[in-house]
Amino acid sequence: MPKSILVVDDQLAMRRMFKAIFAEANYDVDMAEDGLIAYSAARKKRYDLVISDYHMPNCNGIELTKKLRALSTYKGVPILIVSTESNKDKKNEGRAAGANGWVVKPISTEVLLPAVNKLLD
């Protein structure tokens, strides 16, 4: 059974890009356009990995990470934040919230897939 990934990004083009990359790598991918929708989806299904944009309306990636970490089913699930932010303070904020990693956009498949494979191993 393929590993499942929840991709959270408010930009449709980014969600489509992630879906194409992960589908080709034989991952099962669901998508959400903001943190609140993602949180609702995560309460219904346990994903093996959550990849979330930092900047989103309604609930950003840090807020989503905190909400997921509060759920017993997501204590050990890897969470990767993707963002245009490369600021060390933002990355530290992500780590403090419970994120396992931070990838700076623009993202290449050569960087993304090894990071995802490592988190899912």
Q: Give, to the nearest 10 degrees, the angle between helix 88-97 and helix 61-69.
A: 20
Q: Report pLDDT digits (tens) over 12-31.
A: 999 999 999 999 999 999 99
Pure H helices in 1-121? 12-24, 35-44, 61-69, 88-97, 109-120
Which of 93, 35, 24 has the alpha carbon at shortest distance from 61? Answer: 35
47 contacts 76 by C-beta, under 8 angstroms: no
Q: Report pLDDT digits (tens) over 60-102.
A: 999 999 999 999 999 999 999 999 989 999 999 999 999 999 9
Asked if residue 43 has pLDDT above 90, the reply is yes
Structural domain of 66: 4-120
The DSSP symbol for 78 reads -
Predicted TM-score (pTM) of the model is 0.95
Q: Per the structure, how many domains does the chain have?
A: 1
103 contacts 112 by C-beta, under 8 angstroms: yes
Tell me, what CATH number does 81's domain have?
Answer: 3.40.50.2300
